[in-house]
Structure 1
Amino acid sequence: MKFLHNILLFLFLASSSIMLGQTPGFNYQALILNTEEIQIPGTNVSENSIPLGLEDVTLRFTITNEAGIEYIEEHTITTDKNGMVSVIVGEGTPVNYTFSNINWDGKLKYLNVELNILNNNQGFVFLDSQKILYIPQPTNGNGNGTGTGNIKIVNSLGSLTQPYTLGELIWLTDFGTHRNPTLMIWDGTNWLPVNDDFDPANEFGLIVVNNDNTRDTQFKNPVIGDQVWNQTCGCIEVFDGLNWVSSKNTDALNGLYTDGNSIKLGGNLTEPTIITTSDTNTLTIDGLEESTNIDDKLVVIDKNTGVLKQKSISSFTQKKQVIVFAVDGQLEFTTPLAITSVDKIDVYRNGVRIDFTAVNNTTIKLEPEAQCYQDDKIRIVQLY
């Protein structure tokens, strides 16, 4: 069995924009998957996405603006059994500058993410870059929405009244096919999502739901490929056009079984299976126990189909014997078959095994001390 390891990382935030309030930081979640290309006798499994569970990693977050770096921090954390990590950016270990001194001036910033998987000694690997949009924390107030300051909270665009100001922002609690909360801006003609890449049906980010009911409420008209992280099953669910299919529904069949997040060799074959070898790619089984049971069976290969079969040892070993009544002084006797090896011949004189030598390929000669008397019974047993 051979395993070739690659690390595949799926990263996602709580929504398609990073939202900041009057808090010391903001949430960041990631699902880290370990993709293994597996070559196992009896099957053909490749590119299985398996969560990198219970692994120590360090996440490095760098916040930048158009002028350069504003802040860097690191979090060392252990993924949970499902490969999930969740941290608050702003509460990590500062590397450069301080989070509290970031100037949230409403201009576009970016969150750059790097990952270091501590046990593979590869150091930090760049993962992703996300836009950061500052959203003041809304409170009770007046205006078209329910908040004060620069951001107003509304449940629908129909509840708004004109006039609108170019560049005016609102927080819409129900937007798009999947009814996601999002930040909207007035462009002079229409209310548009601030994140121009807003597409809840086609994002690297995963929407987190508590259970099947909240998933179905969030996705009233799901399309093929929609994905969620279902906290009840602790798994990714993908809509296939008819049903939500869980990543945990994958069965290990045909000589395989699952043990937690691992796929292992063992179990019943459920279909005819071919393993092809070559002069270079040979098949070896080391450490087999030595057999001492004469009733054990041998493995043979059908000459026509190549199918492995079992065969008893006795079927391989056949014998032929001849009985001769000797004349006085006789030492040489003819064997029942042509001699291929003297180790396959036993000779008995009156029931006692005696030594001999081969004269030619059909004749044996008894040892001189075994010279026969008249009517001695000579039995020659030959294996073939």
Structure 2
Amino acid sequence: MEDFIKKIGLYLFLLTSTIVLSQTPGFNYQALILNNEEIQIPGTDVTGNSIPLGSENIILRFTITNETGIEYVEEHNIITEENGMVSLIVGEGTPINFTFGDIIWDGKLKYLNVELNILSNDEGFVFLDSQKILYIPHKINGDRNIKIVNSLEDLTPPHNIGELIWHTKFGKNRNPTLLIWNNTNWVPVNDDYDNSNELGLLVVTDDSARTKKFQNPVVGDQVWNKTLKCIEVYDGTNWVSITTKVLNGLQQKENIIKLGGKLTEPTKITTNNTNTLAIEGLQNSVNNEDLVVVIDKNTGVLKKKNLIQVSQQKQVVILAKDGQLEFTIPLNFTNTENIDVYRNGVLINFTAINSTTIKLEPEAICYKNDKIRIVQLF
């Protein structure tokens, strides 16, 4: 399954074929369409993951070919379901070349080529894959029909070599299959048929329906569970869900993944001169008791700290002279808001003379031995 996903690149398709006994012959095609946009969220390595492409207008183009060329082309203009699923009948689309009824199902190898056009991204059709297809019962040479049976016990011998039948529930997965009599046994016409690994995605309502459908599951069996809204694959012991886990600071609502959640492991964001990290639109703090974020100098881990613990201060006490107003402060300054001046313990106003000198307000003129305490934050 992993190789199949890699092969088609942007989208995941799961194909199943079943006979449709109606006025218009055809076979069922089901697929899970994934969004082709990568998810990139700071602090979380989920690049390359995709989510189902729900409620999108798409066109699926099906081309049936044989060893000599194209036999039939049709298109389906549809909207994906909310969970990204599509289900349609190949044979009931809009014919582009030839007609479905003219296809000769003679047991020779045919291929189903699938292309996808997501109308919202203006990229046109993207080729997805080419799969061998099973055969639909059809008149051969205009004079005989392939017999349709639900069980080999429905057949009465003798049988002729090369005789064809359409078995509606063949193999462990009970897939509809074209069989041929080889003078000993009824065997699938399709040379690569393997009922344990066919790309057949069956849809079940819940776990109970899945158990009834797969009474003796084999490794690789897979279903779309409508209740869980995910693909499940049998690993030989349990049914394992194939779905994106949302962890480590993320949360998921339906098919949307967004920031917000509990970190489950140490998380590191690496920046450089080009790829910087910025947070815009932060509110201004008016609370002196608010905390500030600091960075541990050894580990780089973010921590919180009280503002008074972050700020350092320098202070000096000067015994004033009689009539003194001007004083030199401990450090050069550019902002007087970082300086407080006290005269005999009382906070007083001042102005800056230059980057090293301040002048007290006239009403605070000093007497001899007044204590002037200058406190400077830096």
Kept in 1, the 8 Å contact 2:30–2:201? The answer is no
Q: 1:169-188 residue pairs with structure 2 within 5 A?
A: 169-188=164-183
- In the aligned structure 1, how far is the partner of 2:105 from the partner of 2:242? 42
Aligned residues: 358
- Residue identity matched to 1:12: L
Equivalent residue number for residue 349 of structure 2: 353
CA 1:368 to 1:160, structure 2 compared with 1: closer, same or farther past 3 Å? closer
Instruction: State the distance in 1 between where 2:248 and 2:167 align.
Output: 51
Is 107-116 or 307-316 further displaced after alignment? 107-116
Give the secondary-structure state (helix, strand or coil) at the position aligned to 2:13: strand
Question: TM-score, normalising length from structure 2?
Answer: 0.80
Structure-2 residue corresponding to 1:134: 136
Alpha-carbon offset, residue 367 of structure 1: 6.8
Is 1:235 aligned with 2:205? Answer: no
Q: 1:118 to 1:200 in 2, by over 3 A?
A: same
Residue type at the aligned position of 2:368? D
2:376 paired with 1:383: yes
| Percent of aligned positions that are identical | 54
1:125 Cα deviation after fit: 1.8
Cα 1:376/1:122, change in 2 over 3 Å:
same
1:314 aligns with 2:303: no
- 1:130-182 per-residue CA deviation (whole Å, 9 max, x = no partner) reads 43523149xxxxxxxxxx9431525246x655432011123345533334443
CA change 1:66–1:288 in 2 (3 A) is same
Structure 1 residues 174 and 371, CA gap change in structure 2 (3 angstroms): closer
Between the aligned partners of 2:67 and 2:172, the Cα distance in structure 1 is: 33
SS at match of 1:257: strand
**1:208-247 superposed matches below 5 A:** 208-247=203-242
CA 372–293 in structure 1, closer or farther in 2 if over 3 Å, else same: closer
1:8 paired to 2:11: yes
Could you report, residue by residue, the CA deviation over 1:180-213 in whole angstroms, capped at 9, with x for unpaired residues? 4432211223321122222232223323334433
Give the direction of change, closer, same or farther, for the CA distance of 1:189–1:346 in structure 2 (3 Å limit). Answer: same
Deviation at 1:297, TM superposition (A): 1.7
Q: Match of 1:74, as an amino acid?
A: E
**What is aligned with 1:75?**
76
Shift, 1:281, TM fit: 2.7
**Any residues of structure 2 matched to 1:157-306 within 5 Å, and which?**
160=155, 162-247=157-242, 250-306=244-300
1:69-89 Cα offsets, whole Å, 9 max, x none, are 343322110000121112223
Moved more, 118-127 or 202-211: 202-211
CA distance in 2, matches of 1:233, 1:223: 21
Name the structure 2 match of 1:140: none
- Deviation per CA, 1:90-144, whole angstroms, max 9, x where unpaired? 33223234444x153635444332211111111112233343523149xxxxxxx
2:331 to 333, 339, 343: 339
The one-letter code matched in structure 1 to 2:64 is I
Secondary structure in 1 matching 2:166 = strand
RMSD value over aligned CA atoms? 3.3
Structure 1 length normalisation: TM-score? 0.79
Instruction: List per-residue Cα deviations over 1:303-332 (Å, max 9, x = no partner).
Output: 122110111212233545555553434456
Q: In the alignment, which residue of structure 1 is the partner of 2:62?
A: 61
Shift of 1:378: 4.5
Q: Structure 1 CA distance, aligned partners of 2:366 and 2:68?
A: 117
Shift of 1:298: 1.2
* Contact 1:21–1:135 (Cα < 8 Å) also in 2: no
1:353 is displaced (CA, Å) by: 2.2
Amino acid at match of 1:230: N
Unaligned runs of 5+ in 1: 1-5, 138-147
Q: 1:196 to 1:94 in 2, by over 3 A?
A: same
Aligned AA for 2:137? I
Residue 60 of structure 1 aligns to a residue in which SS?
strand
Q: Give, as a single letter, the amino acid of the residue that structure 1 aligns with 2:151.
A: N
Q: Output the CA distance in 1 between the equivalents of 2:21 and 2:111.
A: 17
Gaps of 5+ in 2: 1-8
**Residue identity matched to 1:341:** F
Any conservation in 1 of the 2:200–2:222 contact (CA below 8 Å)?
A: no
Please tell me the residue identity of whatever aligns with 1:153: V
- Shift in CA distance, 290/25, structure 1 to aligned 2, threshold 3 Å: farther
Taking structure 1 as reference, are residues 44 and 52 closer, same or farther at Cα in structure 2, changes over 3 Å only?
same
Which residue pairs with 2:104 in the alignment?
104
- Deviations along 1:32-59, one digit per CA (max 9) or x if unpaired, are 1225543323332244342211111011
1:275-316 Cα offsets, whole Å, 9 max, x none, are 222333322222222323322221100112211011121223
Please state how far the C-alpha of 1:266 moved relative to its aligned partner. Answer: 0.5
Conserved 8 A contact 2:340-2:374: yes
Displacement of 1:368 after TM fit? 11
SS of the aligned residue for 2:51 comes to strand
Q: 1: distance between equivalents of 2:63 and 2:358?
A: 95
- For residues 204-241 of structure 1, the C-alpha deviation after alignment (integer angstroms, 9 at most, x for no partner) is 33233344334224433333332112344443111233
